[in-house]
């Protein structure tokens, strides 16, 4: 029974990892662009981030 729980937990974690990895791969250019903007400005307000995402996630 405990082994089943461990295997289920491993499966859930692996599935979550795979989804996260796919998101990063798919959105990498936008993530890099946001990182560069943050590097230039050192900080971004919520409004700036929302505007960036609105412009880049069309």
Q: What is the pLDDT of residues 13-54, one digit of tens each?
A: 999 999 999 999 999 999 999 999 999 999 999 999 999 999
Alpha carbons 28 and 50: distance in angstroms, whole number: 17
Residue 57 has φ and ψ, to the nearest 5°, of -110, 40
Residue 18 has φ and ψ, to the nearest 5°, of -65, -40
End-to-end CA distance of the chain: give it in Å, rounded: 47
Selection from 26, 33, 35 nearest residue 56 by Cα? 33
Range of the domain at 26: 2-56
Structurally, the chain folds into a number of domains equal to 1
**pLDDT (0 to 100) of residue 1:** 78
Question: Is the full-model pTM beyond 0.85?
Answer: no
């Amino acid at each position: 029974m405990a082994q089943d729980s461990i295997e289920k937990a491993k499966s859930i974690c692996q599935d979550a990892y795979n989804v996260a990895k796919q998101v990063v791969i798919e959105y990498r250019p936008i993530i890099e662009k946001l990182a560069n903007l943050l590097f230039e400005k050192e900080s971004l307000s919520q409004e700036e981030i929302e505007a960036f995402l609105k412009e880049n996630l069309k």
